[in-house]
Protein backbone atom coordinates (compact mmCIF):
# COMPACT_ATOMS: atom_id res chain seq x y z
CA UNK A 1 0.00 0.00 0.00
CA UNK A 2 1.34 3.39 -0.96
CA UNK A 3 2.44 5.41 2.07
CA UNK A 4 1.78 9.15 2.32
CA UNK A 5 -1.22 11.47 2.39
CA UNK A 6 -4.23 10.11 0.55
CA UNK A 7 -7.26 12.25 -0.35
CA UNK A 8 -10.89 11.22 -0.53
CA UNK A 9 -14.09 11.46 1.39
CA UNK A 10 -16.34 10.17 4.12
CA UNK A 11 -19.94 9.49 3.12
CA UNK A 12 -22.04 8.74 6.20
CA UNK A 13 -25.64 7.57 5.96
CA UNK A 14 -28.27 10.34 5.54
CA UNK A 15 -29.08 12.73 7.09
CA UNK A 16 -25.39 13.29 7.90
CA UNK A 17 -23.36 15.34 5.42
CA UNK A 18 -20.50 13.91 3.30
CA UNK A 19 -17.09 15.35 4.13
CA UNK A 20 -13.79 15.63 2.31
CA UNK A 21 -10.99 13.92 4.17
CA UNK A 22 -7.30 13.18 3.97
CA UNK A 23 -5.74 9.96 5.19
CA UNK A 24 -2.19 9.78 6.55
CA UNK A 25 -0.96 6.27 5.76
CA UNK A 26 2.33 5.22 7.34
CA UNK A 27 4.12 2.34 8.98
CA UNK A 28 4.71 2.72 12.72
CA UNK A 29 6.83 0.02 14.38
CA UNK A 30 6.04 -2.38 11.52
CA UNK A 31 2.29 -1.81 11.75
CA UNK A 32 0.05 0.00 9.26
CA UNK A 33 -1.21 3.26 10.75
CA UNK A 34 -3.98 5.36 9.20
CA UNK A 35 -5.13 8.71 10.59
CA UNK A 36 -8.21 10.31 9.06
CA UNK A 37 -8.26 14.12 8.95
CA UNK A 38 -11.73 15.60 8.50
CA UNK A 39 -13.36 18.92 9.43
CA UNK A 40 -14.20 17.69 12.95
CA UNK A 41 -10.59 16.76 13.73
CA UNK A 42 -8.31 13.73 13.48
CA UNK A 43 -9.69 10.20 13.78
CA UNK A 44 -7.03 7.60 14.61
CA UNK A 45 -7.75 4.08 13.39
CA UNK A 46 -7.05 0.78 15.10
CA UNK A 47 -6.21 -2.71 13.88
CA UNK A 48 -5.41 -1.56 10.32
CA UNK A 49 -4.66 -4.47 7.97
CA UNK A 50 -3.73 -4.37 4.27
CA UNK A 51 -3.87 -7.70 2.42
CA UNK A 52 -3.04 -6.48 -1.11
CA UNK A 53 -6.63 -6.20 -2.32
CA UNK A 54 -8.33 -4.59 0.68
CA UNK A 55 -7.81 -2.48 3.78
CA UNK A 56 -9.69 -3.09 6.98
CA UNK A 57 -9.59 -1.05 10.16
CA UNK A 58 -11.65 0.14 13.10
CA UNK A 59 -12.18 3.63 14.43
CA UNK A 60 -13.81 4.94 17.56
CA UNK A 61 -16.54 7.54 17.51
CA UNK A 62 -18.64 9.32 20.11
CA UNK A 63 -21.95 7.85 21.14
CA UNK A 64 -25.05 8.95 19.29
CA UNK A 65 -26.43 10.75 22.36
CA UNK A 66 -24.73 12.77 25.06
CA UNK A 67 -23.25 10.50 27.71
CA UNK A 68 -23.53 7.39 25.52
CA UNK A 69 -20.45 5.15 25.38
CA UNK A 70 -17.95 5.37 22.54
CA UNK A 71 -18.88 3.24 19.54
CA UNK A 72 -16.73 1.19 17.18
CA UNK A 73 -16.96 1.68 13.44
CA UNK A 74 -15.54 -1.13 11.29
CA UNK A 75 -14.43 -0.33 7.73
CA UNK A 76 -13.43 -2.58 4.85
CA UNK A 77 -12.27 -0.93 1.64
CA UNK A 78 -11.64 -2.87 -1.57
CA UNK A 79 -8.93 -1.92 -4.05
CA UNK A 80 -10.36 -0.72 -7.38
CA UNK A 81 -8.75 -1.04 -10.84
CA UNK A 82 -7.56 2.59 -10.64
CA UNK A 83 -5.72 1.88 -7.30
CA UNK A 84 -8.24 3.79 -5.20
CA UNK A 85 -9.91 2.07 -2.25
CA UNK A 86 -13.63 2.23 -1.60
CA UNK A 87 -15.87 0.44 0.83
CA UNK A 88 -18.31 0.41 3.69
CA UNK A 89 -18.09 1.38 7.31
CA UNK A 90 -20.47 -0.26 9.75
CA UNK A 91 -21.36 1.30 13.10
CA UNK A 92 -21.55 -1.44 15.73
CA UNK A 93 -24.12 0.53 17.74
CA UNK A 94 -26.90 0.24 15.14
CA UNK A 95 -28.71 -2.81 13.72
CA UNK A 96 -26.94 -4.65 10.90
CA UNK A 97 -29.70 -3.68 8.46
CA UNK A 98 -29.12 0.07 9.07
CA UNK A 99 -27.66 2.21 6.26
CA UNK A 100 -23.88 2.01 6.01
CA UNK A 101 -21.36 4.77 5.54
CA UNK A 102 -18.74 4.72 2.76
CA UNK A 103 -15.13 5.80 2.56
CA UNK A 104 -13.15 6.58 -0.57
CA UNK A 105 -9.34 6.82 -0.50
CA UNK A 106 -7.32 8.17 -3.46
CA UNK A 107 -3.55 7.46 -3.34
CA UNK A 108 -0.96 10.26 -3.29
CA UNK A 109 0.23 9.34 -6.78
CA UNK A 110 -3.22 10.29 -8.15
CA UNK A 111 -3.84 13.35 -5.95
Three-state secondary structure call for residue 110: helix
Report the percent of the chain where pLDDT is more than 90. 33
- The answer to whether 12 and 90 are in contact (CB under 8 A) is no
The percent of the chain in helix, strand and coil, each rounded to the nearest 5, is 5, 60, 40
Check residue 63 and give its pLDDT. 54
Topology of the domain comprising 4-110: Lipocalin (2.40.128)
pLDDT tens digit sequence for 22-75: 999 999 998 889 999 988 788 888 888 888 889 998 887 655 556 666 678 888
Total residue count of the chain as it appears in this document: 111
Model confidence, pTM? 0.82
Measure CA of the first residue to CA of the last residue in the chain; give whole Å.
15
CA pair distance 57, 74, nearest whole angstrom: 6
Amino acid sequence: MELGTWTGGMYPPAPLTPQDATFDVEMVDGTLDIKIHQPGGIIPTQKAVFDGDAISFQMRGPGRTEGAPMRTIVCRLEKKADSTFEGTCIDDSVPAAAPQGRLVMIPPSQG
